[in-house]
Structure 1
């Protein structure tokens, strides 16, 4: 039984079809990277998976249970958490308070405050600081920690390195490597850095205009094939032939 499965998912913005029949599955502890140009449908896909955007058709299952029609809060309590683009922290609260709120609204499990801080050591010196005064890298670490406090079996990370300095990105991925090694939480990550996406993930999926243009094991896909799918070059060549 897959930890997470998406089958022929369709999502729209009015008459615009943003996600067009996307399918994939994820086993426990696996990491899927989703790449694609701006407007490819990545954020709409994530919002649909997390329950904050309606699904027009298709099916989403979490640990074998159909969650397609579930509201977002029910998905969180059943093991699906998202780190949204832009972090969306409670900026007037301390880091500790942000994490406590997540713990109160998630499900019980091994991810308690001490363990989360151990996995993301950048948090320890800032626990009592107000979230609004943190740097971009610190805010992203808090956003990931907040999601972990919900004790997810599947963690969605949208544009995890967007807007961060190279040093902050490196530190962030060092922390994510620790989560990866645990083989407990499956992760789906949207990442613009193709090289990092390939290196970090087990599987990679490339979206183009809402459709799956390419998918496969990350170490088996060439950078050229991913780039062609990313920009739709193969489609253009076929049309021009």
Structure 2
């Protein structure tokens, strides 16, 4: 059974429809890459799945349970966690306290403070550092650790490498690869770097004007097809391995 199913999801801002009948399934341990130009609807899709943006139509199913009308806190308790663009840490709190707050508001599971530090080992030296004094890469890692503390079944990572240096991005993806290897947490990753997204994800969807313009397995799609879909040069297509 799919851990997350999105069925014909529609969401908007006033008269603007930002997400138009988007559908996909996500299995446990699978990584879905979401790509598209600015304004394609990626962040609205994430916010709607997380519950901070209202769905106008369609359904969001978490392990068979319809959560479309659930509040964000209830979705976190059920197993959906989002790492938002901009990280949004509590700047005046230490890294440890940022992590513990998330643990108090999530669901029970194997992700504890020790477990998160083991998975993201360089956090150990930062536990007592105020989050406001961290670098961009460090803040992103803490934001991921904070999301893991809620013991998610589905981890949403919005613009995961935005504003980071190449070295920080490389280190971040090494940590994400370790999480992927565990195989128990599904991930949806918004990434502007096409090469990075296609190398890391098991499946990708390319959004254009709120719709899924292309979807499939990265190796079967090819970069040229994805680039054409990104700029709206092809009709919607699904390609399997």
Aligned to 2:180: 180
Aligned to 1:234: 234
Measured in 2, the distance between the counterparts of 1:26 and 1:220 equals 18
Aligned to 1:118: 118
Aligned to 2:73: 73
Aligned to 1:137: 137
Q: Any unmatched runs of 5+ in structure 1?
A: 236-241
Q: Does 1:53 align with 2:41?
A: no
**Structure 1 residue ranges, 4+ long, deviating more than 2 angstroms after superposition:** none
- TM-score between both structures, scaled by the size of structure 2: 0.97
Q: Does 1:5 align with 2:5?
A: yes
Aligned to 2:44: 44
1:121 CA displacement: 1.2
Aligned to 2:29: 29
Aligned to 1:207: 207
1:220 CA displacement: 1.1
Measured in 1, the distance between the counterparts of 2:65 and 2:54 equals 18
1:70 CA displacement: 0.2
> Partner of 1:234: helix, strand, or coil?
coil
Question: Are the equivalent residues in 1 in contact too, given 2:213–2:234 (CA < 8 A)?
Answer: no
Aligned to 1:238: none
Instruction: Give the paired residue count.
Output: 235
Bigger mean CA offset, 38-47 vs 226-235: 226-235
Q: Any unmatched runs of 5+ in structure 2?
A: 236-241
> Partner of 2:234: helix, strand, or coil?
helix
Q: Deviations over 1:1-50 (max 9, x none)?
A: 21100000000100000000000000111000000000000000000000
> Partner of 1:233: helix, strand, or coil?
coil
1:102 CA displacement: 0.2
Measured in 2, the distance between the counterparts of 1:191 and 1:87 equals 15
> Partner of 1:232: helix, strand, or coil?
coil
Aligned to 1:158: 158
Q: Deviations over 1:77-117 (max 9, x none)?
A: 00000000000000000000000000000011100011101
Question: Are the equivalent residues in 2 in contact too, given 1:122–1:141 (CA < 8 A)?
Answer: no
- TM-score between both structures, scaled by the size of structure 1: 0.97
Aligned to 2:239: none
Aligned to 1:239: none
Bigger mean CA offset, 226-235 vs 192-201: 226-235
1:233 CA displacement: 1.7
> Partner of 1:12: helix, strand, or coil?
strand
1:234 CA displacement: 2.6
Q: Does 1:106 align with 2:106?
A: yes
